[in-house]
Amino acid sequence: MNLAIIESVSGPVVRARPEGSFVMREAVRVGEKGLLGEVIRIKESEIVIQVYEDTTGIRPGTRIEGDGLPLSIHLGPGILGGTFDGLLRPIADISINGPWVEPGSVTSKSAHYYFIPQVVAGSSLQAGAILGRVKPKDGHEQRILVPPGISGVVEELVAEGEYRDDVPLCMLIDEDGTRHPVTMCHTWPVRRPRPTAARLPSDEPMLTGQRIIDCMFPIARGGKAAIPGGFGTGKTVLLETLAKWCNADVIVYVGCGERGNELAGLLEEFYQLEDPHTGHSLLKRTVIIANTSNMPVAAREASIYTGVTVAEYFRDQGLDVALMADSTSRWAEALREVSGLLGELPGEGGYPAYMSSRLADFYERAAKVRTLAGETGSVTIIGAVSPPSGDFSEPVTSHSRRYIRSFWALDANRAYARFYPAIHPLHSYSTDEERMANWWHAEGNVHWQELRTRFLTLLEEQAHLERMARIIGKDAMPAHQRYILMCAELLNEGFLRQSAFSEIDRSASPDRQAVMMRIIGEFIEQAERVVSNGVPPELISRLPVFRRLMRMSEEIPDGEWETFSELADTLNKSMVELADSGQPMEDS
Ligand SMILES: Nc1ncnc2c1ncn2[C@@H]1O[C@H](COP(=O)(O)OP(=O)(O)O)[C@@H](O)[C@H]1O
Ligand SMILES: [Mg+2]
């Protein structure tokens, strides 16, 4: 046990005189309440501690204790479906008095689970191997793993039945004859990535149900995305929509420095919504980590590592996990605040120079992997960024760009026009597009990439033509240009726009997305032919079928394939009729 005596306190930063040999990043307990902290700097006669809880009442002379171990969290079956603070301590009630955690408290109370062993005594188990599974009363089945770092031969294995999560299920006898008790829980240091057998290529998309993401700027399983956007552009609504409808098995939602009432709302909503994949409440597949704006600032820094460690824990059980962080900017601000108290030299935007590498440490942990047990699992990370006054050249946005693969730029003008999701198609990108195209192709949507490229070209042309239209007026533009504006309008309104609050459209299956893509592609092709035969585009946009296309996202639900094919037939017929009707020719 290491001991130190506090010499000064300034907010979350505490300086103390050590009477033992502390190590960097050692977890410590401060004062009688045992507030949690971490050693962040060591000098000859002084250590500096970052305290993760409110330091009011902590004075010089107070004792600090450490045991040489890094800041760790307690992982086990009780986590899924729970709400925790940045150090994975359960939050009793987030809605009434704001998030409240007993100062100095450690982990969840122990609970009972029904354990079903999957190995027999005498088996030789490697680290990360599956020992058995538990089935909580109304939640998802989970696996119990041999913790990373230990291996050996199973002895004294319990029979199937109900056990407390802190009693040994078996002993593992390692090569040296050392006996390691294995319980349902184990601890893991938050800043250390959990080991895997291999990193696998990200070759399939994580489907989000959002067309502008899945079809235009896809994210891979094991991928990483940033959502930068100014205030009110829809970052939180988008993250929540993704958390609800993406096809991950487990969601880890880190509320980092944002308002507490938003998280309370999320909790309420998730409780009521049904998981389309399992029929349970959505909350049962979710872990919420709350470090809202009214909670101690220093713990915010730890919260995203806690979040990603929890995500890796479920990944190691062979699951696909999605982690959402709202927002990485508030996290970076916490770094800046603590750095200022430490008297460090400020870098770009006042952020400490290590902000970028800390962001990298976080995003690096997104991956699709082969687990130690030989299964496939993934962690996909999506981080919101809130650049001050929506300026994407500021440090948190620009450094995030270096580490992510999908960039969903929210646009204030789109949001202002209530065009949601306000992802700007010309400012966003995905470097995984090529590989995701292979997946869509293998699923039978062979024109996915071609259509995607066609759509993007149209949107680029639209941006260019709209500038011109503002100057010379739309009516003065040649027919082909008016045709492009018409197609782009359909693409935006009928495809990219998708309300998070529409029962029919809040989430679109890949099949529905593919059908809609094809119909719009059909329209673009046929309309081009008709227009080049001299029919003015306005005659097309006045057709009843055009209005039906514009509204198909709101009107034709998933599974109504007949309605879609009837619509496609009507489109064909209407275009043929129009071409045959001998409309007045127009110079183009
Ligand atoms: N996808 C969406 N569909 C419908 N409305 C949305 C959508 N995204 C945002 N909004 C509207 O915009 C408001 C602000 O969104 P929010 O996510 O809170 O912004 P931010 O987190 O970027 O500050 C929401 O309260 C909602 O009314
Ligand atoms: Mg928000």
Residue 187: count other Cβ atoms within 10 Å of its Cβ: 14
Q: Where does the pLDDT of residue 135 fall: very low under 50, low under 70, confident under 90, or very high at 90 and above?
A: confident
Which of 231, 236, 237 to mutate to test ligand 1, by most ligand atoms within 8 A of the CB atom? 237
CA–centroid distance, 414 to ligand 1, in Å, is 11
**Cα 508 off chain centre by:** 19
Average pLDDT rounded to a whole number, residues 575-581: 88
H/E run at residue 378: strand 376-385
Which ligand is closest to the CA of 233, given by its number? 1
Share of the chain above pLDDT 70, in %: 96
Backbone angles phi and psi of 380, in degrees to 5: -110, 130
The rounded distance, in Å, linking the Cα atoms of 208 and 211 is: 8
Domain ranges of the chain: 2-71, 109-188, 198-431, 448-580
**Per the structure block, which two tokens stand in for 370?**
């082969």
CA–centroid distance, 4 to ligand 1, in Å, is 48
Residue 230 alpha carbon, nearest atom of ligand 1: 22
Average pLDDT rounded to a whole number, residues 521-530: 96
Backbone angles phi and psi of 3, in degrees to 5: -130, 145
195 CB-contact burial (10 Å; exposed 0-12 / middle 13-18 / buried 19+): middle
The rounded distance, in Å, linking the Cα atoms of 440 and 435 is: 9
Which ligand is closest to the CA of 422, given by its number? 1
Prediction pTM value: 0.94
Q: Mapping DSSP to helix (H, G, I), strand (E, B) and coil, where does residue 395 land?
A: helix
Same fold, 109-188 and 198-431: no
Q: Which of 199, 190, 188, 120 is nearest to 150 (CA)?
A: 188
Examine the pLDDT at 97 and tell me if it is beyond 60.
no
529 CB-contact burial (10 Å; exposed 0-12 / middle 13-18 / buried 19+): exposed
Atom 9, ligand 1: residue with shortest CA distance: 234
Q: Where does the pLDDT of residue 588 fall: very low under 50, low under 70, confident under 90, or very high at 90 and above?
A: very low
Q: 128-142, 265-279, 434-448 — which is least confidently predicted? A: 265-279
- Computed from CA positions of residues 223, 360, 90, 25, in that sequence, does the dihedral angle turn out positive or negative? positive
User: What pLDDT, on a 0 to 100 scale, did the predictor assign at position 105?
Assistant: 67
CA–centroid distance, 295 to ligand 2, in Å, is 17
User: What pLDDT, on a 0 to 100 scale, did the predictor assign at position 587?
Assistant: 43
Examine the pLDDT at 106 and tell me if it is beyond 80.
no
Residue 234 alpha carbon, nearest atom of ligand 1: 17
User: What pLDDT, on a 0 to 100 scale, did the predictor assign at position 586?
Assistant: 46
Residue 327 alpha carbon, nearest atom of ligand 1: 21
Single-letter amino acid code for the residue at 38 = E
CA–centroid distance, 534 to ligand 2, in Å, is 49
Examine the pLDDT at 293 and tell me if it is beyond 90.
no
Q: Which of 488, 476, 494 is nearest to 545 (CA)?
A: 494
Q: Where does the pLDDT of residue 357 fall: very low under 50, low under 70, confident under 90, or very high at 90 and above?
A: very high
Contact between residue 68 and residue 1 where contact means Cβ atoms under 8 Å apart: no
Contact between residue 107 and residue 144 where contact means Cβ atoms under 8 Å apart: no
Atom 15, ligand 1: residue with shortest CA distance: 234
The 3-class SS string of 59-90 reads: CCCCEEEEEEEECEEEECCCCCCCEECCCCCE
User: What pLDDT, on a 0 to 100 scale, did the predictor assign at position 582?
Assistant: 57
CATH architecture of 448-580: Orthogonal Bundle (1.10)
CA–centroid distance, 228 to ligand 1, in Å, is 13
H/E run at residue 398: helix 395-403
- 21 versus 276: which is more confidently predicted? 21
- CA angle (207, 209, 215) in 5-degree steps: 70
CATH architecture of 2-71: Beta Barrel (2.40)
Residues with CB under 6 A from ligand 1: 229, 231-238, 241, 420-421, 499-501
Q: 371-397, pLDDT tens digit by residue?
A: 999 999 999 999 999 999 889 999 999
Residue 549 — left, alpha, or beta (φ > 0 → left; ψ -120 to 50 → alpha)?
alpha
User: What pLDDT, on a 0 to 100 scale, did the predictor assign at position 98?
Assistant: 52
Q: 22-61, pLDDT tens digit by residue?
A: 999 999 999 999 999 999 999 989 999 999 988 988 999 9
The rounded distance, in Å, linking the Cα atoms of 381 and 9 is: 35
Q: Where does the pLDDT of residue 274 fall: very low under 50, low under 70, confident under 90, or very high at 90 and above?
A: confident
Q: Which of 175, 222, 388, 202 is nearest to 320 (CA)?
A: 222
Q: 528-567, pLDDT tens digit by residue?
A: 999 999 999 999 999 999 999 999 999 999 999 999 999 9
Q: Where does the pLDDT of residue 195 fall: very low under 50, low under 70, confident under 90, or very high at 90 and above?
A: very high
Task: Find where tokens 């980092």 sit.
Answer: 256
Which ligand is closest to the CA of 498, given by its number? 1
Average pLDDT rounded to a whole number, residues 83-100: 72
Q: Mapping DSSP to helix (H, G, I), strand (E, B) and coil, where does residue 288 land?
A: strand
Q: Which CATH topology does 198-431 take?
A: Rossmann fold (3.40.50)
Q: Which of 313, 414, 273, 361 is nearest to 72 (CA)?
A: 313
What is the DSSP-derived secondary structure letter of residue 318?
Answer: T
Q: 146-157, pLDDT tens digit by residue?
A: 999 999 999 999
Examine the pLDDT at 292 and tell me if it is beyond 70.
yes
CA–centroid distance, 404 to ligand 2, in Å, is 20
The 3-class SS string of 293-307 reads: CCCCCHHHHHHHHHH
CA–centroid distance, 423 to ligand 1, in Å, is 12
Average pLDDT, the chain: 93
Q: Which of 551, 511, 512, 549 is nearest to 527 (CA)?
A: 549
Q: Which CATH topology does 109-188 take?
A: OB fold (Dihydrolipoamide Acetyltransferase, E2P) (2.40.50)
Atom 8, ligand 1: residue with shortest CA distance: 234
The rounded distance, in Å, linking the Cα atoms of 457 and 454 is: 5
Q: 220-233, pLDDT tens digit by residue?
A: 999 999 999 999 99
Atom 20, ligand 1: residue with shortest CA distance: 232
**Per the structure block, which two tokens stand in for 583?**
């409309």
